[in-house]
Amino acid sequence: MLNNHFFSDNICKSCEETYYKNVEGCVTKVGKYDNCQFVNVVLNSCYECTKLFLLINNTCVTQSEVNNTTNVNSILKTTSEYNDNCIERSSKGCFKCSDGFYLHNSNCVPCKSPCSYCSNEMYCTKCGKYSYATNGKCVEINELLSTCDVMMSTYDGCVVCKDGYMRSSDGKKCDKCDISCKTCSNDGNCFICNDTYYRTPNNITKYCNPQEELTNCVNMTTNGCTQCEDGYALKENLCQKCGENCTFCDKYFECSKCEDDNILINNKLCFFSKFRLFKVFRCKKTNYGLVIVLPIMCIVVILFIIILLKTIILIVFNKKKENVLTENICIFKMKRSNIIMTKLSDDILSNKQEIMFGDDSDKIHIECENRELFCVGNNKKENMKLQITTKEGCDKYLIRTEPQLVTLKSGEACEFEVFLTPFCTMNLCDEIMIISLDLINGKKETTSVKIKAQTENSTRLDYDELIEDKKLGEGSFGIVYKGKYQGNTVAIKK
């Protein structure tokens, strides 16, 4: 140690308490950093004062000096560009400012007008008169007046917005309606359409549609079409085509005028009426063979076409029916899924070895349907049909599954929904069966899966868990037996 310095290998490692270390060595704190515990040599400022001293703008003072307003103001005038406005201090400086100020580098900086309370320079929590806070910013009322008809009494929001605007969810401002709306509700639904948009009286959509979508219309309005082109009639304010070859029809689509070369029948339908005249130059002998064979051939061709059309329609119908049946069925490729599948048998994979409803900490309710998901996959190279069957005629519980039947390709899996409705308090341990059918060789296989459940306690008990021991008594109320229920001694009345 030399001159209050501690040296190691001719290098100063630390200084005494009344000194601080900089690039030149140990420098005394007396005069510049009196009562300072730690000095920041980079910023040339005191970082923290010693005990019983408070840091005010790089100066360590006592609590009594802080209480002396004249002394504090003198320190602030010589050391800071800000007014103090600090209400709580520590040895490291100010850590709480007065209302209307925020803390920045141990200084209390005033919030920017019109903000009266703020947490930092960018975020305002309360605004002054004639403005309101939204998303940390102060918005002046002048901006709101351009979109608001009736202001709140506190002038910090709107009660009724102008046409074309709707109240925001917080009621602080008015948001513009959709471009198709002239007026709208607070949910954004159009009340009245803009001039170039329309909505028919029977239309329940949220927004209005462009009038350019009205086809074959002569006179367009915000309620739809009021006059159609020739050959079209109004139906629910939209233009629909009259019957074939008809140029004028009423709202019931009964024709009143037909196109040229057509005649009107019963004031409803138009039929083609133009005939060509052919001149006969020479009579020829009738070919009866052709007369007989040709109609037969025509009939055969027509029958073939009818059968072909019926076959195509039947195929399309069955395809659509299959799509409807499989619409809500979840089938997926196992190799593209992150679900871990394990073997139930050589041909069947599953994500669960047993299906569990409830546990000791979360027991299921009785007489309520409970749901669990269960994935079953095809591990064979051939396609197979899968069906899950459950026990029938059980009065303790009811099990059903969705879907009931599904066809899986090789490598595919299906997500089944298993629904359990217990009718009494029980610890269920049973099995359901997965029946698989190979669609190539017709081989049928049955695989069992355990199903377990723990139900809540109730007055509905599983009679198989009641074990009668001996008769205790008999009377008009019935016979009382001593017995066991789930390991507990109980009285059983019959």
Specify binding-site residues for ATP: 494
Binding-site positions read: 494
Reported as type and span, the H/E element at residue 145 is helix 141-145
Q: Which of 169, 165, 168, 195 is nearest to 178 (CA)?
A: 165
Name the burial class of residue 242, with classes exposed (0-12), middle (13-18) and buried (19+) by CB atoms within 10 angstroms of its CB. Answer: buried
Q: How far apart are CA 420 and CA 69, in angstroms?
A: 77
Q: How far apart are CA 206 and CA 177, in angstroms?
A: 11
Query: Do the beta carbons of residue 421 and residue 367 sit within 8 Å?
Result: yes
Name the burial class of residue 436, with classes exposed (0-12), middle (13-18) and buried (19+) by CB atoms within 10 angstroms of its CB. Answer: buried
Query: Do the beta carbons of residue 93 and residue 106 sit within 8 Å?
Result: yes
Q: What's the helix, strand, coil split of the chain in %, to 5?
A: 15, 45, 40
Beta-carbon contacts of residue 117 (< 8 Å; ≥ 6 apart): 99, 100, 111, 124, 125, 126
Q: Nearest 10 degrees: CA dihedral of 434, 439, 441, 447?
A: -10
